[in-house]
Homo-oligomer: A and B are copies of this chain.
Amino acid sequence: MSGIWGNKIKISIFGESHGKAVGIVLDGLKPGIEIDLGYIREQMKRRAPGNTSLSTARKENDEFHILSGCFRGRSTGTPLCAVILNGDVNSEDYEEISNMPRPGHADFTGRVKYKGFNDYRGGGHFSGRLTAPLVFAGSLCRKVLEERGIVIGSHVKSIGRVEDKYSFDAVSTDKNTLEKLSKDIFPVLDKGCGEKMKDSILRARKEGDSLGGVVETMVLNLPAGVGNPFFNSVESTLSQLLFSIPAVKGVEFGEGFNIAAMKGSEANDEYYMSENHEIKTYTNNNGGILGGITNGMPLIFKTAVKPTPSIAKAQRTVNIESGEDAILRIKGRHDPCIVPRAVPVIEAAAVIGILNLM
């Protein structure tokens, strides 16, 4: 069991890539939230494939249907269920290779876990398509946070070995920057680096290969005092959600792995009293969190996304039925890099987590 998460707002996710539908139930939303369909569609479009030449040409129908919990355009406070119907998909390709697990995918582990009964077509329940309902849920939570002045934004920090030369703590990041990034389908701080990233993606595609990357995310205007020590710390809560996104293999807060290489005197964020009598820190190496609780500084974290496992190149695998080694060639059109499409999913996970902590 694993599709249910949360304490204040519980989400219950369901669906398979080639089944009837994917969807989500949100339980615990306060009544009266404006369900802004345009806003939700805008968020979901950020995740949808086919936006640019960088993603798969495959079109997915991401139109959602709200089945409950919404009345006269507002949340009722009762469980809100939204479903996204799957179109008619040609699942034949998957039949052919159902005994040959794709490297880097959950084909083999899913088969073991579910004793062969799982719907393996298109990744089934493990498909990236399941992140669509997550973005739906995120868009509702995001709206609630925005009403309190809290904004979230991300930039692609790296694609493969190409890195954005700026980071969120290197430039003076403000609300405008984050909002602008949120509207960009390939958000970067340095345009030049962004072009190089895109080039590397196109090159990987040409080679029948794929690339991963790192996303840096910032949340502004979170009050101090949000979070808990131990198991519901801000880091624990967000990491649990972030690692439930397919392809995420690393999460760090503030300077993360870098802070481990600093001295205490460098790492500690010293305090000062700001002009308007707020307690601030000179640096933000802890990413706005101390003892699992926000300190009023911007919340910053980075998420490592592995390269798309589906590649055109031939790969070695096994045939589970025959028990022999085999060569696999994955057909179909796949994203050479899912990092840009992962950005809204990461933000959705973050806002769902933050709203649960407030």
- Report A's interface with B, CB cutoff 8 A: 1-5, 7-10, 12-16, 19-23, 25, 27-28, 31-32, 65-71, 74-81, 83, 101, 103-106, 108-110, 112-119, 124-126, 130, 158, 160-161, 204, 207, 209-214, 224-225, 227-233, 235-237, 239-244, 246, 248-257, 259-265, 267-273, 277, 279, 281-282, 285-287, 289-295, 302, 304-311, 313, 315-318, 320, 323-325
Contact = CB atoms under 8 A, between A and B. Distances in A.
Most interface-central of A125, A158, A161, A324 (chain B CB within 10 A): A125
B125 A229 contact: yes
Please give me the 9 A-B residue pairs with the lowest Cβ-Cβ distance, nearest first: A106-B291, A2-B228, A250-B252, A210-B264, A1-B28, A2-B232, A250-B256, A31-B117, A235-B243
Given A3-B27, A213-B260, A241-B231, A126 B291 contact: yes
A14 to B, nearest CB: 4
A115 B12 contact: no
Contacts of A236: 239-241, 243-244
Contact of A313 (B112, B210, B251, B265): B265
A252 to B, nearest CB: 3
Contacts of A261: 158, 160-161, 212
A351 to B, nearest CB: 16
A252 B253 contact: no
A217 B99 CA distance: 32
A267 B125 contact: no
B293 A112 contact: yes
Nearest to A12: B12
Contacts of A244: 229-231, 233, 235-236, 292
A306 B259 contact: yes
A198 to B, nearest CB: 16
A229 to B, nearest CB: 5
Given A23-B81, A235-B248, A106 B267 contact: no
Nearest to A76: B118
Contacts of A260: 158, 212-214, 249-250, 304-307
Contact of A3 (B125, B158, B231, B315): B231
B304 A118 contact: no
A257 B259 contact: no
Contact of A265 (B209, B230, B282, B323): B209
Given A2-B27, A119-B71, A212 B262 contact: yes
Given A14-B81, A256-B304, A271 B233 contact: no
A115 B118 CA distance: 35
Nearest to A5: B231
A126 B229 contact: yes
Nearest to A285: B306
Contact of A20 (B65, B253, B293, B294): B65
Contacts of A294: 109
A265 to B, nearest CB: 5
A327 to B, nearest CB: 10
Given A68-B20, A114-B31, A318-B273, A291 B105 contact: yes
A2 B257 contact: no
Given A240-B240, A260-B249, A268-B315, A68 B19 contact: yes
Contacts of A243: 233, 235-236, 239, 253, 292
